[in-house]
Amino acid sequence: MQTIGLIGGMSWESSLEYYRVINQRVKERLGGLHSAKVILYSVDFAEVEELQHLERWDEAGKIMANAAILLEKAGADVLLIATNTMHKLANFITEVTNLPLLHIADATAKQIQQDKIHKVALLGTKFTMEQDFYKGRLFELFSLEVITPDEPDREFIHKVIYNELCQGIILDSSKAKYLEIIAKLERDGADGIILGCTEIELLIQADDCAVKLYPTAKIHAAAAVDYALSC
């Protein structure tokens, strides 16, 4: 079993979910008392969030690169960024380490392709929904058609992520609004919904709506275990 290096803390609530899913997957695969070999580097999310909203991405990238270097030195064999948005800075990591970086969008897209779905909607931070680093990858590498909510809905989704979910606050009113947005996207032709922020999975679960959901944290974590056990 290879050792998974996890760049977490963005937020720590979703990092907990990564750790749980990774170990649950190892238990399912190997049984008994087996657990995952994981090294976690947890950043201070307040520092990262400020840099995100100030659009000082190069400085945030240096934080990611430093985390990757330290994880490699600590003995990691493969790296994961435990957040969707910060995959915008994946190149900062690949430039400073030779370790494989398992991209969250790739793991999610492969699952969507297995389900023979071609048109999906993407929920996440405004950075993820509006910039091309995520949508473009899904289209260019996997030929997926990706739609996003309208601007007011994107703003609402973004605010709930940072002001509520990242702080461990779960509100029924926010869940109801998210489900309204998902229903609109389904009417617009989406056959699947990518929960493209790892915190959204704390709010919306598969049995909340009829359309197929793709919880990226769970998919990413499971893919990491499968990789670690295959080498």
Beta bridge partners of 193: 121, 213
Calpha distance 117→191 (Å, rounded): 6
8: helix, coil or strand?
A: strand
Q: Active-site positions?
A: 83, 197
Residue in 130, 176, 171 with CA at minimum distance from that of residue 154:
130
23: helix, coil or strand?
A: helix
Q: Which residue has the tokens 């659009």?
A: 55
Calpha distance 185→153 (Å, rounded): 11
144: helix, coil or strand?
A: coil
